[in-house]
């Protein structure tokens, strides 16, 4: 192929040809991996969520002005153990215990919906409680969502599972 070239230039051309071939192969391999392990990065209902965004912010502000607050037994724990953990959540209004229609726990990872899970808590005398399986180590986004008279009240935070 490069017979008429000087030996040093011939070697350089083979290196360039090999590098180009390796680059093309790596590109196709990357594309194959992308399609093989594809996971969506958005919520399926992103359009509806966007439409209701202003209303959700207004509801959150209104409920905060009324003195609502969500507390859990995970607030004081810096590291949670791997496996099932008990969570107890209380909804307070102006410092007094109050009730909600339901409370849901969402565990999410950043920028992906693959590991997102939600758990509905059961109501008891002191609020809501449930057992949450913590199956992977690392940092998780925790959202506690209370339904108060048809309005959604949220609290977000992070937990570390080890």
Q: For residue range 108-121, what is the model confidence (pLDDT) as tens digits? A: 887 666 778 899 99
pLDDT at 2: 78
- The predicted pLDDT at position 56 comes to 86
What percent of the chain is helix, strand and coil (3-state, nearest 5)?
30, 40, 30
Q: Is the pTM of this model over 0.85?
A: no
Collect the ranges in the chain with pLDDT lower than 50: none
- Return the residue matching tokens 């509801």: 59
How high is the pLDDT of residue 41? 60
Predicted pLDDT of residue 64: 93
- Give the model's pLDDT for residue 83: 92
Side-chain-facing half-sphere of 85: CA atoms under 13 Å = 21
What is residue 78's predicted lDDT score, i.e. its pLDDT? 77
Residue 100 confidence (pLDDT) = 92
- At residue 1, the pLDDT reads 75
């Amino acid at each position: 192929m490069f017979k008429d070239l000087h030996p040093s230039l011939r070697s350089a051309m083979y290196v360039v040809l090999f590098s180009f071939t390796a680059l093309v192969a790596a590109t196709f391999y990357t594309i194959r991996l992308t399609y093989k392990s594809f996971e969506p990065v958005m919520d399926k209902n992103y359009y509806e969520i966007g439409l209701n965004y202003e209303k959700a912010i207004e509801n959150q502000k209104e409920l905060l002005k009324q003195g609502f607050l969500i507390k859990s037994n995970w607030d004081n724990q810096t590291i949670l153990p791997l496996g099932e953990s008990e969570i107890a959540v209380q909804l307070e209004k102006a410092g007094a215990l109050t009730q909600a229609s339901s409370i849901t726990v969402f565990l999410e990872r950043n920028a992906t919906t693959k590991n997102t899970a939600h758990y509905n808590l059961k109501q008891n005398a002191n609020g809501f409680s449930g057992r949450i399986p913590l199956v992977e180590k690392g940092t998780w986004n925790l959202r506690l969502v209370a339904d108060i008279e048809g309005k959604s009240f949220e609290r977000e935070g992070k937990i570390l599972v080890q």
